[in-house]
Each structure stands twice: as C-alpha cells, then as structure tokens.
Structure 1
Amino acid sequence: MNKTLIPELRKKHGWTQEHLASKCGLSVRTIQRLEKGDDASLESLRLVAQALNVKVGDLFESVSDTQKGRDIMEINSNQNNQIRKRKDEFDLINKTIRMTFILLMIIFACIMSRSQYVSILGMIWAFSWIIGFYILRLIKIYWLESYLDKKYPLTKNLN
C-alpha cells in the first residue's frame, strides 16, 4: 500500500479538497479517494502533483513494490530527468539571450561613438540597458517558461 501525503500537502497550501479538485480539473470524489490511498490513475496523480508543485513521488510517504509503485517510481524518475534537462536548456537559452543583448549593446556603443550625436545617443544607450533587462525578464517569464513547460510537461509548476 502506498501511504499518501496528499492531505498534508493540501493543508500546507491552506486548500480545501474542493479547491485542489478545481486546480487539478478532477472531481472532489477523486481527491477524496486519493487522500484515502485508493488506487488512482497516474494521470490523476500527475495532475495533483502539478497543482501542489511537487513531484509525483513526493505525494507518498512510501511506495510499495507493486506494479503501481513501480509506475510511480518510473514517472518520478522521468520527472527528475526532465527537471535536469529543463535546467540545462534554461541555462543555455538564458545565457544565449543575455550574450546577444550585450553584443547588441556593444555594437550600438560602437555606432554611437562614431556619431556626432554622442550625448543624445549615450542617454539612449544607458536607458536601453535598463529597458533591456526588463525585456529579458519578460522573455523569460512569458516565452521561455511557457516553451519549457510544453517541452518538459512533467516539470510544469516545479521549482
């Protein structure tokens, strides 16, 4: 028998069973069955784990050596692999975006230095750094995270 930690995790968030059900897109009855430790589909477990921001394996105190337990451990292993790949890809894309921005700012500075409007372009250049960092942050939040959520679905909402 797999000892579930779902009630404790749900209460830690301060959620009712109804709230958790709505976050997962599952019925309240399904949440009640999961909290009792009744058998559930891996998809239901994945949805609950995603809503609670934990890995599927973290929904259980212990996992028995049954087929269901092995399935839970496999999805947990898959999540760990996707977390690692997502972090590596995030770091690579993030560095590439930052380096591209810095390169563009250096090119702009070179163009500016050859212009007769150095003071005006200098103010624009300085302002561009500030705006650029906000734009980079928005790219990470609205594009990169969404892209990685689609590519690595088992990592969605996991820190």
Structure 2
Amino acid sequence: MENKLKLIRTKNGLSQEALAEKSGVSVRTIQRLEAGNDGSIDTMNLLASALNVSLTDLFITKDPDQEFKVAGAQTQLDYQLATRRQEFKGYNIAFIGCWIGIMFLWGIGLQLLPNDILVDVFGALWFVGWILMFPIKQLLITNYINPKLDQKYPLTKLHLDKNKRKRHS
C-alpha cells in the first residue's frame, strides 16, 4: 500500500532522523517505508501520531480491503484515546476529591488543637497544602498515571492531547 510519509514529513520540515526520534521508529524503518515497503499498522500509527495527522492521512489506497484495514486501525486508535481520556478524567476527579477531603478534615482538626501556636503552625501548613496540590498532581500524572495509561493504551502513547477531552468544532 502506498503511503505519503515522505511528503508529510518534508512538509513538516522534519528529517528522517528527527521523525525517528519523535516517533520512536528507527531511521531504517522510515527509509524502507518511504521507499515503498509495507509497514505494520502499529508503526504507521506511531508515525502518524508524531506527524500529528490521522492514520488514514498517511495512505494512498484504491484497494477496499486495505482501506478497511486502515479505517479499522484508526477506529482502534480513536477508541483507545476516548477510553484513556475517560480513565484519566476518573483519576483526576479521584485525586482532587481526596485532596479536598483531606484538607477539609485538616481544617476541622485545626479547631481541636490545644494552643494558638500549634493552630498557627498547622494553619500555615494547611495553606501550603493547597498551594502544593497542583504540583503534586502533576508529579503523579508524570511518574505514575501516564506510564500506566501508556502501557494500557499503547496506540495513544505519542499523542500530545492523550489526556485532554477532544473538543468538537
């Protein structure tokens, strides 16, 4: 099946080496694909993601069977992205809910402290806790949630908007 990889790559101003680094696909594989050899749908998906185009945009085909195969792969990617975004949203809501609950209990606990110095110290720490909420959330996303979701939904790994809800225009 013919592809438009070289055309799209050069239009984006990328060398084969830059595309290889961005996509995680070897330079040799990119060279073979641009020379007209067939590649797996998974490889083409990685390249499409790195080029910020849909999988179907990479192919020139007149064969209905091949079109069906590519459309099926695009459907699978779309499904994984939608499912991943929904799961990410759940993690986000759970984190914020737990953080607010903990901070609420901490605030109530301040009223139970026996002296004003402890109230001042733990009150200042309570305030700092609110400031640290978003950096801690980002740390969890980067080090725990994204690697877990990348493994569970491998087709979405290179998508820059993999955790954001798709906006309809």
One fold, TM greater than 0.5?
Answer: yes
Q: What is the CA deviation profile of residues 20-65 of structure 1, one whole-angstrom value per residue up to 9, with x for unaligned ones?
A: 235433343x3234235543222331332243344422323x5434
AA in 1 matched with 2:24: C
User: Separation in 2 of the partners of 1:12 and 1:108?
Assistant: 55
Please list, as runs of the form range in 1=range in 2, the aligned pairs for 1:5-154 lying within 5 A after superposition: 5-22=4-21, 23-28=23-28, 30-60=29-59, 62-115=60-113, 116=115, 117-154=118-155
Q: Is the 8 A contact 1:10 1:16 kept in 2?
A: yes
Q: Is the 8 A contact 2:110 2:119 kept in 1?
A: yes
User: Separation in 1 of the partners of 2:31 and 2:136?
Assistant: 44
User: Separation in 2 of the partners of 1:99 and 1:10?
Assistant: 43
Which residues of structure 1 form unaligned runs of 5+?
A: none
Q: Is the 8 A contact 1:53 1:157 kept in 2?
A: no
CA gap of 1:10–1:110, structure 2 versus 1, over 3 A, is: same
Q: Is the 8 A contact 2:46 2:155 kept in 1?
A: no
Q: How many residues align?
A: 156
| Stretches of 4+ aligned residues off by more than 6 angstroms | none
User: Separation in 2 of the partners of 1:136 and 1:91?
Assistant: 13
Paired residue secondary structure (2:146): helix
- Give TM-score scaled by structure 2 length: 0.78
AA in 1 matched with 2:30: I
1:155 alignment counterpart: 156
CA gap of 1:74–1:98, structure 2 versus 1, over 3 A, is: same
RMSD after superposition: 2.3
Q: Is the 8 A contact 2:25 2:43 kept in 1?
A: no
Which residues of structure 2 form unaligned runs of 5+?
A: 162-169
User: Separation in 1 of the partners of 2:149 and 2:52?
Assistant: 16
AA in 1 matched with 2:94: T
User: Separation in 2 of the partners of 1:63 and 1:98?
Assistant: 47
